[in-house]
Structure 1
Amino acid sequence: MKITDISLDRLRLELDPPFRAAWDPVPRGHFDATIVRVHTDEGITGIGSGDLMDGFGTYKHLFVGEDPLDITRHVKAIETASFHGAPYWPLEAALWDIIGKVHGRPVSELFGNAAKKLPAYASSGELKSPEERVATALKVREAGFRAMKIRIDRNRVDEGVAAVRAVREELGDDFDIMVDLNQAWRMAGDTADASDLAKTRKIIARLAELDVFWVEEPLPYADLDGFKRLRAENPGVRIAAGEMHHSVPELLRYLEEDALDVYQMDVVLAIGMHRARTLAELAQLKHRQFTPHSWTNGIGVLANLHVSAGVGGGPYFEFPYDPPGWTPERRDFMLAEPVRVDADGCLEVPDRPGLGVELDEDAIDRWRVK
């Protein structure tokens, strides 16, 4: 089998009203997605998505003519190309989609087959008042979720903690709450400094009183010693990070230094599926957890799900969901059916070969950037 071509469909969904993501400098009025298709001489096509694949045309020749099943070779080639360009991990997802289709099995089975479904947590995206966050939390629980993640702005800490407290009081102790401080990295144009260690320590101490399940991205990635200190000082609160950490050696250092309780590498944004599996298994061997970030679109959600279910990640899987601003219909506009949780708040691995992606070609034609 040979790769005959790699094609990209660049899509843009206009968002009205805009989505006010907590990590964005300005509200986003559109949602971009790039669909990667790897075509082969045997008629099998692999599909991936996640990062926007900017500049990939320069490197397409590294893969065309090669056997798509030579995944180790391709992972190394993607790493060399990504060093000079953008994160091209959606290509690896498309290659795994081919491998699963060739073998007639879901990719998660090839990654270890540890689980057929995972409990999901509703991952909020917007900053909301305590009253609004409680209303959303009630909808989340009604949809079947047993956990949710709440964003806190470093400049509006009191309001954020109040939102966590309100949800805790309304939904009780049997509903898990995660908190994301979004301090590890910055969107383009966000030049504000991260909260310093002293301020972050105070925030986590307040959240510990509310029995949060974990605190995510509390510090910049470079502050390894700070992460270790936060863990040591707050034994009742898990510390999570790593979603956009592109450096495998640095993630290995985090593991060696035992800096985190929960590792969150996104397989289509950070280090790819193959490397994420390796690091996830190392984390589990150290009695630490792997729960990948999954804030792209439904294809990226599925790629992360296959790896997490394959290795037995958990205890929850991230499901971007914050109605009405962020819904499966908006997130998965390119799919025939949005990816959804079941009535018990679990995300099932599709039983179709590969990643289980079913595209809506009419939607792709409608939203394709000309």
Structure 2
Amino acid sequence: MKITDITLDRLRLELSPPFHAAWDPVPRRHFDATIVRVHTDEGVTGIGSGDSMDGFDAFRHLFVGEDPLDITRHVRAIETANFHGGYYWPLEVALWDIIGKVAGLPVSALFGNVARKVPAYASSGELKSPQERVATALRVREAGFRAMKIRIDRDRADEGIAAVRAVRAELGPEFKIMVDLNQSWRMAGDTAPSADLATTRRTVARLAELDVFWVEEPLPYADVDGFKQLRAENPGLRIAAGEMHHSATELLRYLEQDALDVYQMDVVLAVGMHRARTIAEVAHLKHRQFTPHSWTNGIGVLANLHVAAGVGGGPYFEFPYDPPGWTPERRDFMLAEPVAVDANGDLEVPWKPGLGIELDEEAIARWRIG
């Protein structure tokens, strides 16, 4: 089998009303997605998505003509291309989709097949008042979720903590609450400083009193000692990070220094599926957890789900969901059906060869911009 071509469909869904992402100072008036298709001489086509694939045309020749099943070779080639261009992990997703289709198995089975489904947590995306967040939390619980993540603005910590306190009071001690401080990385052009370590220590300590399950990305990635200090000071909660950490070796250093409880590298944005699996296995050997970030689109959700279910990630899987601003219908506009949780809040692995992606070709034609 040989790769005959790699094609990209660039899509843009207009958002009205706009989505006010907590980590982005600019309201999002559109949602972009790039669909990667790897074509082969045997008629098997792999599909991937996630990062934008900007600049990939200069590297297409590294893969066309090669056997798509030579996955380790391709991962190494993607890493060399990443150094000189963007982050091309959606290509690896499409290659794994081919491998699963050729094997006649879901990719999760190839990655270990630990679980057929995983409990999901509703991952909020917007900053909301305590009253609005309680209303959303009630909708989340009604949808079947047993856990949710709340965003907190470093400059409005009191309001964010009040939202957590209100949700805890309304939904009780059995409902799990995670908190994301979004301090580890920045959107392009956002030069605002992170909260200093002393301020973050106070914030995390206050959240610990509310029985928060984990605090996510409380510090910049470079502050490994700060992560370790937060863990040592707050034994009753977990510290999570790594969603956009592009260096597999740095993530291994985190593991060597025991900096985190939960490792969250996104397989379509950070280090890819193959490397994420390796780091997740090491984390498990060290009695630490892996539960990937999945804030892209439904294809990215499925790619992360297959790796998480394959290696036994958890205890919860991130499901971007914050109605009405962010819904599965917006997130998965390129799919025939949005990825959805069941009535118990679990996300089931599609038991089909490959990743189980079913595109909506009419939607792709409608929203294609390049």
Shorter-chain TM-score range: over 0.9
Distance 1:193 1:61 in 2: 41
Q: Which residue of 1 aligns with 2:112?
A: 112
Shift of 1:237: 1.1
Q: Which residue of 2 aligns with 1:132?
A: 132
Distance 1:147 1:49 in 2: 27
Aligned AA (2:217):
E
Among the aligned pairs, what percent are the same residue? 84
Q: Which residue of 1 aligns with 2:292?
A: 292
Aligned AA (1:30):
H
Aligned AA (1:118):
V
Q: Secondary structure at the match of 1:185?
A: coil
Q: Which residue of 2 aligns with 1:121?
A: 121
Aligned 8 A contact 1:214 1:239 in 2:
yes
Aligned AA (1:183):
Q
Distance 1:210 1:25 in 2: 28
What does residue range 286-325 of structure 1 map to in structure 2 within 5 Å? 286-325=286-325
2:262 is aligned with 1:262: yes
Q: Which residue of 2 aligns with 1:211?
A: 211
Shift of 1:60: 0.2
Aligned AA (2:6):
I
Distance 1:85 1:28 in 2: 25
Q: Deviations over 1:40-90 (max 9, x none)?
A: 000000000000000000000000000000000000000000011111000
Shift of 1:359: 0.1
Distance 2:327 2:137 in 1: 14
Aligned length, in residue pairs: 370
Q: Which residue of 2 aligns with 1:33?
A: 33
Contiguous gaps of at least 5 residues in structure 2: none
Distance 2:123 2:79 in 1: 29
What does residue range 151-230 of structure 1 map to in structure 2 within 5 Å? 151-230=151-230
Contiguous gaps of at least 5 residues in structure 1: none
Q: Secondary structure at the match of 2:190?
A: coil
Q: Secondary structure at the match of 2:145?
A: coil
Distance 1:325 1:18 in 2: 8
Q: Which residue of 2 aligns with 1:6?
A: 6
Q: Find runs of 4+ consecutive structure 1 residues off by over 3 angstroms.
A: none
Q: Deviations over 1:211-269 (max 9, x none)?
A: 00000000000000000000001000100000000001100100000000000000000
Normalised by the size of structure 1, how large is the TM-score?
1.00
Shift of 1:166: 0.2
Q: Which residue of 2 aligns with 1:19?
A: 19
Distance 1:352 1:131 in 2: 42
Q: Deviations over 1:93-119 (max 9, x none)?
A: 000000000011000000000000000
Q: Which residue of 2 aligns with 1:275?
A: 275
Distance 1:24 1:354 in 2: 33
Root mean square deviation, CA, Å: 0.4
Aligned 8 A contact 1:93 1:268 in 2:
yes
Distance 1:163 1:14 in 2: 30
Normalised by the size of structure 2, how large is the TM-score?
1.00
